[in-house]
């Protein structure tokens, strides 16, 4: 047996927030009890002064393999996840070839097992080859183990295709994960359309491009009864649309990234490609709206949108560099520094958005320390201060917008099925 003792256990799935011991059966990898004293022969881990939570879940990660192993592999990506405190991740389908066949789903599952790091769940394509023209074989993909579908990296702009995808997802009780963007409005854009883009002379990507697609997808979810999850929300209008939809009882959930909660388009004044992502960093009013969406539970999940790019690709001129930043290893610390320390969010609210909420959306058996559940556990030092350095990243790529920043709070241990 393993006993994790003296830690502040925060488990929103059970309404727990207090100092408890957790006993784990190492052989079965299950939680045995919470609140009982360890036996004399138990192996112990002293978590005094630390936060003990269900294993963190990141439901929006790009692992790049197969096809773009120069950016990331399943092995390096899952190693980065562990470093960031995540015991489970869901990987997006914009690989090469895309995840639109059973064989690729099974390949990723096997590669994850071989890597022996964290749990990996697969998100499959909505459309064949992510082209937005013809539905992928969703039934076969879900039977192969895919937990959701998305064309993330690209939107599905054909409303009829999206409607039929919702109907298929209903048959298998799976969510559709939407990349909300109207590409005719963002074509050629480099950053958020606003005063900063005007001053820099860079083509902008208007907030309306996100707002319009969110409204369309919510309407289609309402008409079909399907489950919609809006990825990487970044605009005030999108937050308002989702809030109104929830009040009407529509099955919609949403996520926001740490960088959209903490950075603004002002960072693009440096012309540093590590601040270029899609959706782009927005102006302060949009950041504040996303924070308020977290506070009032309009936004259900914090996800990294970990999007690695090899250095030689990312460090081009700003208009030539690809969109995307890594985030697995900094996500938790960025949110602790910017939202927990200023008391904008409580620990319970934060952990809820990193554990049980993504688990419920993806319908996976994770996110809780209930007796009998898998002993996936993250231990966090809430006061640990550290500086983000390129050489410390476990990810194969180094394209982080937080390089050089000092952050507070860090995961210091991870247990998966009771094993450290």
Q: Which of the residues are catalytic? A: 305
Please give the Cα distance from 221 to 237 (Å, whole number): 18
Question: Which positions ≥6 away from 148 have C-beta within 8 Å?
Answer: 90, 123, 124, 174, 175, 176, 177, 229, 361, 362
Element (H, E) at 260: helix 258-262
Contacts of 298 (CB under 8 A, 6+ apart): 239, 242, 243, 246, 254, 292
Report the chain's C-alpha Rg in angstroms: 20
Entry field: residues in the chain:
420
| Phi/psi of residue 417, nearest 5 degrees | 50, 45
Cα→Cα distances 163→101, 104, 228, 234, 257, Å: 21, 25, 11, 24, 27
CB under 8 Å to 320, separation ≥6 — which residues?
A: none
Q: Pull the structure tokens for residue 367.
A: 């996110």
- Integer angstrom CA distances of residue 281 from 46, 123, 212, 255, 413: 40, 25, 18, 15, 31
The answer to whether 346 and 291 are in contact (CB under 8 A) is no
Q: Which residues contact residue 115 at a Cβ distance below 8 angstroms, ignoring those fewer than 6 apart?
A: 74, 75, 78, 79
Q: Are 30 and 375 in contact (CB under 8 A)?
A: yes
Strands 30-34 and 16-25: antiparallel
The position carrying tokens 């120069």 is 70
């Amino acid at each position: 047996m393993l006993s994790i003792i003296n830690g502040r256990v925060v488990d929103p799935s059970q309404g727990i927030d207090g100092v408890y011991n957790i006993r784990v059966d190492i052989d079965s990898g299950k939680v045995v009890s919470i609140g009982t004293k360890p036996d004399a022969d138990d192996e112990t881990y002293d978590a005094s002064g630390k936060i003990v939570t269900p294993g963190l879940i990141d439901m929006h990660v790009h692992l790049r393999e197969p096809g773009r192993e120069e950016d990331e592999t399943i092995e390096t990506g899952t190693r980065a996840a562990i470093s960031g405190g995540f015991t489970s991740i869901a990987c997006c389908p914009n690989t090469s070839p895309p995840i639109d066949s059973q064989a690729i789903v099974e390949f990723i599952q096997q590669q994850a097992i071989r890597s022996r790091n964290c749990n990996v769940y697969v998100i499959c394509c909505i459309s064949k080859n992510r082209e937005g023209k013809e539905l992928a074989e969703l039934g076969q993909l879900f039977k192969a183990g895919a937990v959701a579908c998305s064309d993330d990296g690209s939107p599905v702009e054909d409303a009829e295709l999206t409607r039929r995808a919702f109907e298929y997802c209903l048959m298998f009780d799976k969510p559709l994960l939407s990349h909300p963007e109207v590409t005719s409005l963002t074509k050629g854009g480099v950053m958020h359309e606003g005063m900063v883009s005007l001053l820099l002379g860079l083509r902008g990507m208007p907030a309306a491009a996100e707002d319009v697609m969110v409204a369309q997808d919510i309407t289609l979810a309402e008409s079909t009864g399907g489950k919609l999850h809006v990825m990487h929300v970044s605009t005030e209008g999108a937050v308002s649309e989702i809030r109104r939809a929830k009040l009407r009882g529509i099955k919609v959930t949403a996520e926001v990234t740490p960088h959209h909660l903490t950075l603004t388009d002002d960072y693009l004044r440096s012309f540093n490609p590590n601040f270029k992502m899609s959706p782009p960093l927005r102006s302060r009013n949009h950041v504040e709206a996303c924070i308020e969406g977290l506070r009032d539970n309009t936004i259900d999940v914090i996800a990294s949108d970990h999007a690695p790019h090899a250095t030689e690709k990312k460090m081009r001129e700003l208009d030539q560099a690809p969109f995307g930043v890594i985030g697995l290893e900094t996500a938790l610390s960025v949110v602790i520094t910017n939202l927990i320390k200023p008391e904008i969010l409580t620990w319970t609210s934060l952990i809820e958005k990193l554990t049980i909420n993504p688990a419920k959306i993806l319908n996976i058996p994770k996110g809780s320390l209930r007796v009998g559940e898998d002993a996936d556990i993250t231990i966090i030092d809430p006061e640990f201060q550290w500086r983000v350095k390129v050489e410390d990243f476990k990810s194969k790529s180094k394209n982080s917008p937080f390089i050089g920043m000092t952050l507070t709070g860090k995961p210091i241990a991870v247990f998966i099925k009771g094993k450290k």
